[in-house]
């Protein structure tokens, strides 16, 4: 076994690898760029080596710097994590030449399976069912258009060296093929240093289901069940689960055995993932093989009890697998939610900044529920524009699927993140979605259910009552705390005012206190619009999470003070609630509405990012749908288009400019 390994990655996956290495008694070496100087993975490792500037192309993607760090520290092996150099055969070969072990498959398997074009050709030769498509390199936009016409729309344009949704576009028409080809090539070049793309038929309403395989150097290969990864946005996974609610035992076995056969055909050694798309009739088609650890590997670990990182290290050290196929049992259900630094209310645009608060739910086993949070940040960490926007992977396990989903719902409500925009509200809302809860999903789920993007959820009457009860309980404690401060002219008498009004959005709810007193823990009997409710909670002023019961219903909600009220977030609902006396409410109804400024004649930068190109000139007439500018943020290119026919009157930005959110890119006449 190795005594020292280097982790050639950053963020949560670097922390994840370090945890297992530490458990195995192996010394770890971290590498870091300028942006990650104070990162969590640097602090966790036993040693750390600086490898260059913030851009990945000048640090984490430079194989020579990783090898130099190995030599300087005496690391015997390298775990690449995922992304960056994890699927570069040339990196694996360079390590071998230096006598350093690559904790992953051999170059032969990486070359055969790591390249999407070559893997498709190899799978075809091995009689594996694949999606119809053009497996050669697409030369230009005209060539792409011709191929798409032959295959039939819709088609998927994909970067050959791609992953994580980068360099990937769906095209439904000739125009979309040309634009998608240019965008996919550009993203592929900037993300992977390889601009080759290929085209295949896009299967409508597919499920994305992948099989985890594990193989050693002694001819032993097995599969560890499947993961359902169909909840995606822009081809990037958002929520995963294991097992899939769709597969039966027969299909699972067929997919698993096919995956094992494919792995054996390339002499695969290590953990790897064979991805399939599955249609509504349970026909499955090989999509690609990821010759590395997957982002979503924790759900497999939770249902099998097998530490995949440990197995990768043991296989790389030459050990035989201690597990047989008959030992692999799928126990219970696991769900993973990816927390991204993005604004769900602004079409999921990336967000950067400092985590002023970062307090995940407590990890561990709680009754029949397990909570796990894989993360690479802590309170005070900086989310930069240089890397992937994923902040954490929150996982829950339970004996049944719905129990795991409900546990995830409560864990998300308890996850405090301030300082950046994030997608917790969207994930929390998703956990309540009937179609998700029933398992009736496909890769088009988010686009179908949220065609206009994710908008704030308006609470129904029952939810409004819960929110009003929380707001009343919190306001009573806030006022009591103020009344007990020294120097107050009129200390509180101790008697509770009976009648209150809570404003939530446009609604005014009448609240009457039937019985109770101000204390911690608090118990209040209320009526809200005439309906009786009992509220119990041990919340204290300053707590970020309000926990308790409302009408016997268990509630965990986030509470933040705002002007004259509180911002309450619960199950994807986020509202401002103001509890006030009836006379105050009468006057409040007379207040004029604040109108937002008119920005209809401006193109605002929707996220902090870099201007890649400006497609128009001053004085130019543009039609609705035409491209105005392209802005890059967190390795994704975002095309900004005209919403209607316009004339450009002024350009305020140029290619290469780094812009803040809402910066004015151009103005219109």
- CA–CA separation, 123 vs 131, rounded Å? 11
The predicted model gives 462-480 an average pLDDT of 94
Residue 26 has pLDDT above 70, yes or no: yes
**Structure confidence at residue 416 as a pLDDT band (50, 70, 90):** very high
Task: Give the model confidence (pLDDT) of 74-94 as tens digits.
Answer: 999 999 999 999 999 999 999
Q: Please count the helices (runs of H) and the strands (runs of E) in the chain.
A: 17, 40
| Torsion over CA: 628, 630, 633, 637 (sign) | positive
Dihedral in degrees, nearest 10, Cα atoms 112, 114, 116, 121: 10
pLDDT at 445: 95
Q: Whose CA is closest to 414, among 520, 304, 555, 299?
A: 555
Task: For residue 543, give Cα distances in angstroms to 478, 523, 551.
Answer: 12, 17, 22
Query: Could you count the other beta carbons within 10 Å of the beta carbon of residue 50?
Result: 14
Task: Give the model confidence (pLDDT) of 236-264 as tens digits.
Answer: 899 999 999 999 999 999 999 999 999 99
Which of 115-129, 288-302, 597-611 is modeled with the greatest confidence?
Answer: 288-302
Going by the DSSP 8-state scheme, the letter that residue 149 receives in this structure is H
Contacts 24+ apart (CB under 8 A), 484-487: none
**Structure confidence at residue 327 as a pLDDT band (50, 70, 90):** very high
The predicted model gives 572-577 an average pLDDT of 95
Separation of CA 306 from chain center: 23
Instruction: Find out whether 212 and 227 touch, Cβ atoms under 8 Å.
Output: yes
**Torsions phi, psi of 561, nearest 5?**
-70, 135
Query: Could you count the other beta carbons within 10 Å of the beta carbon of residue 175?
Result: 11
Q: Which residues are catalytic?
A: 288
Expressed in angstroms, the distance from the first to the final Cα of the chain is 69
- CA–CA separation, 199 vs 180, rounded Å? 11
- CA–CA separation, 634 vs 107, rounded Å? 29
pLDDT at 123: 84
Going by the DSSP 8-state scheme, the letter that residue 240 receives in this structure is E
Strand partners, 214: 222, 271
Here the tokens at position 186 are: 């550009």
pLDDT at 492: 60
Strand partners, 340: 390
Q: Which of 134-143, 326-335, 446-455 has the lowest mean pLDDT?
A: 134-143
- CA–CA separation, 137 vs 121, rounded Å? 12
- CA–CA separation, 171 vs 473, rounded Å? 52
Instruction: Find out whether 85 and 130 touch, Cβ atoms under 8 Å.
Output: no
In sequence order, what are the residues at sequence separation of 6 or more whose Cβ sits closer than 8 angstroms to the Cβ of residue 598?
A: none
DSSP class per residue in 45-62: SSEEEEEE-SSGGGTTT-
Burial class (CB in 10 A: 0-12, 13-18, 19+), 299: buried
Q: Which of 18-27, 311-320, 655-664 has the lowest mean pLDDT?
A: 655-664
**Structure confidence at residue 490 as a pLDDT band (50, 70, 90):** low
Burial class (CB in 10 A: 0-12, 13-18, 19+), 542: exposed
Task: Give the model confidence (pLDDT) of 117-134 as tens digits.
Answer: 778 777 877 778 888 788
pLDDT at 495: 67
Query: Could you count the other beta carbons within 10 Å of the beta carbon of residue 480?
Result: 17
In sequence order, what are the residues at sequence separation of 6 or more whose Cβ sits closer than 8 angstroms to the Cβ of residue 172?
A: 153, 154
> What percent helix, strand, coil does the chain show, rounded to 5?
30, 35, 40
Task: For residue 342, give Cα distances in angstroms to 12, 383, 445, 661.
Answer: 17, 11, 19, 12
**Structure confidence at residue 30 as a pLDDT band (50, 70, 90):** very high
Residue 314 has pLDDT above 90, yes or no: yes
- CA–CA separation, 252 vs 236, rounded Å? 24
The predicted model gives 435-458 an average pLDDT of 93
Q: What is the 3-state secondary structure (H, E, C) of 518-581?
A: CCCCEEEEEEECCEEEEEEECCCCCCCEEEEEECCEEEEEEEEEECCEEEEEECCEEEEEEEEC
- CA–CA separation, 282 vs 10, rounded Å? 37
Dihedral in degrees, nearest 10, Cα atoms 70, 76, 79, 80: 40
**Structure confidence at residue 576 as a pLDDT band (50, 70, 90):** very high
**Torsions phi, psi of 330, nearest 5?**
-90, 115
Higher pLDDT, 117 or 405: 405
pLDDT at 346: 84
pLDDT at 121: 79
| Domains with residue ranges and CATH for the chain | 4-103 (3.40.50.20), 132-201 (3.30.1490.20), 207-331 (3.30.470.20), 337-455 (3.30.470.20), 461-483+495-588 (3.30.700.30), 602-668 (2.40.50.100)
Residue 493 has pLDDT above 90, yes or no: no
**Torsions phi, psi of 250, nearest 5?**
-65, -45
- CA–CA separation, 319 vs 313, rounded Å? 9
**Structure confidence at residue 494 as a pLDDT band (50, 70, 90):** low
pLDDT at 203: 83
Query: Could you count the other beta carbons within 10 Å of the beta carbon of residue 634?
Result: 23
Mean pLDDT of the residues in the chain:
93
| Percentage of the residues of the chain whose pLDDT score is greater than 90 | 75
E strand or H helix at 287, and its extent? strand 284-290
**Torsions phi, psi of 258, nearest 5?**
-65, -40
Burial class (CB in 10 A: 0-12, 13-18, 19+), 623: exposed
pLDDT at 665: 96
Q: Whose CA is closest to 153, among 201, 199, 197?
A: 201
Residue 166 has pLDDT above 80, yes or no: no
**Structure confidence at residue 482 as a pLDDT band (50, 70, 90):** confident
The answer, yes or no, to whether the previous bond of 521 is cis (omega within 30 of 0) is: yes
Here the tokens at position 562 are: 């705002």
Q: Are strands 522-528 and 284-290 parallel, antiparallel or unpaired?
A: unpaired
Task: For residue 210, give Cα distances in angstroms to 84, 244, 335.
Answer: 21, 9, 15
**Structure confidence at residue 321 as a pLDDT band (50, 70, 90):** very high
In sequence order, what are the residues at sequence separation of 6 or more whose Cβ sits closer than 8 angstroms to the Cβ of residue 115?
A: 160, 161
Task: Give the model confidence (pLDDT) of 629-660 as tens digits.
Answer: 999 887 678 899 998 899 999 999 999 999 99
- CA–CA separation, 669 vs 622, rounded Å? 11
The predicted model gives 395-419 an average pLDDT of 98
Q: Whose CA is closest to 58, among 36, 29, 81, 30?
A: 36
Task: Give the model confidence (pLDDT) of 170-214 as tens digits.
Answer: 999 998 999 999 889 888 888 788 888 889 888 878 999 999 999
pLDDT at 161: 80
**Structure confidence at residue 164 as a pLDDT band (50, 70, 90):** low
Task: Give the model confidence (pLDDT) of 216-225 as tens digits.
Answer: 999 999 999 9
Q: What is the pTM of this model?
A: 0.84
């Amino acid at each position: 076994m190795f005594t020292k390994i280097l982790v050639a990655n950053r963020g949560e996956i670097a922390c994840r690898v370090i945890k297992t290495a530490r458990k195995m008694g192996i010394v770890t070496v971290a590498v870091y760029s300028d942006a990650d100087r104070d990162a969590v993975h640097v602090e966790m490792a036993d040693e750390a080596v600086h490898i260059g500037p913030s851009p990945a192309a000048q640090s984490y993607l430079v194989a020579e710097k990783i090898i130099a760090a190995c030599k300087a520290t005496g690391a015997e092996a390298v775990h690449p994590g995922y992304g960056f150099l994890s699927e570069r055969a040339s990196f694996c070969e360079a390590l071998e030449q230096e006598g350093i072990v690559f904790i992953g498959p051999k170059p032969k398997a990486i070359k055969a399976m790591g390249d999407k074009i070559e893997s498709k050709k190899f799978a075809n030769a091995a009689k594996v069912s694949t999606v119809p498509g053009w497996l050669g390199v697409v030369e230009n936009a005209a060539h792409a258009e011709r191929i798409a016409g032959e295959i039939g729309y819709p088609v998927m344009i994909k970067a050959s060296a791609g992953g994580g949704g980068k360099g990937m576009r769906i095209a439904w028409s000739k125009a979309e093929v040309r634009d998608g080809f240019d965008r996919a090539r550009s993203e592929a070049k900037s993300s992977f240093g390889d601009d080759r793309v290929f085209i295949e038929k896009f299967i409508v309403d597919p499920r994305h289901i992948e099989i985890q395989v594990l193989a050693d150097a002694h001819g032993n290969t097995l599969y560890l069940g499947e993961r359902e990864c169909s909840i995606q946005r822009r081809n990037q996974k958002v929520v995963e689960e294991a097992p899939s609610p769709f597969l039966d035992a027969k299909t699972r076995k067929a997919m698993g055995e096919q995956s094992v056969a494919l792995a054996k055909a390339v002499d695969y050694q290590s953990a790897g993932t064979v991805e399939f798309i599955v249609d509504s009739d349970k026909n499955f088609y090989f999509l690609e093989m990821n010759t590395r650890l997957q982002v979503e590997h924790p759900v497999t670990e939770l249902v099998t009890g097998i530490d995949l990182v440990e197995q990768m290290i043991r296989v790389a050290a030459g050990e035989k697998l201690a597990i047989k196929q008959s030992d692999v049992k799928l126990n219970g259900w696991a769900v993973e939610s990816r927390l991204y630094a993005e604004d769900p209310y602004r079409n999921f645009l990336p967000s950067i900044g400092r985590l002023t608060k970062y307090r995940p739910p407590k990890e561990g086993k709680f009754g029949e529920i397990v909570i796990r949070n894989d993360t690479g940040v802590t309170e005070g960490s900086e989310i930069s524009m240089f890397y992937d926007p994923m902040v954490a992977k929150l996982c829950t396990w339970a004996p049944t699927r719905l129990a795991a989903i409900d546990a995830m719902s409560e864990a998300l409500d308890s996850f405090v993140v301030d300082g950046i925009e994030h997608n917790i509200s969207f994930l929390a809302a998703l956990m309540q979605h009937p179609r998700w809860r029933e398992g009736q999903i496909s890769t088009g789920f988010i686009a179908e259910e949220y065609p206009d993007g994710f908008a704030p959820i308006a609470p129904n009457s029952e939810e409004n009552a819960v929110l009003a009860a929380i707001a009343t309980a919190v306001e009573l404690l806030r006022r009591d705390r103020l009344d007990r401060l020294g120097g107050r002219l009129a200390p509180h008498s101790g008697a509770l005012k009976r009648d209150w009004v809570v404003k939530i959005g446009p609604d005014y709810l009448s609240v009457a206190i039937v019985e109770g007193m101000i204390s911690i823990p608090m118990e209040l009997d209320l009526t809200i619009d005439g309906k009786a409710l009992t509220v119990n909670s041990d919340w204290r002023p300053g707590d970020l999470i309000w926990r308790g019961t409302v009408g016997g219903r268990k509630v965990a909600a986030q509470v933040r003070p705002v002007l004259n009220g509180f911002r309450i977030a619960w199950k994807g609902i986020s509202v401002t609630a103001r509890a006030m006396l009836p006379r105050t409410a009468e006057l409040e109804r007379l207040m004029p509405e604040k109108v937002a400024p008119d920005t209809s004649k401006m193109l605002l930068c929707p996220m902090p990012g870099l201007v890649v190109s400006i497609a128009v000139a001053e004085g130019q007439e543009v039609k609705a749908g035409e491209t105005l500018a392209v802005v890059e943020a967190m390795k994704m290119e975002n095309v900004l288009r005209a919403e209607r026919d316009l004339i450009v009157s002024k350009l305020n930005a140029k290619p290469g400019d780094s812009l803040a959110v809402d910066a004015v890119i151009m103005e219109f006449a």
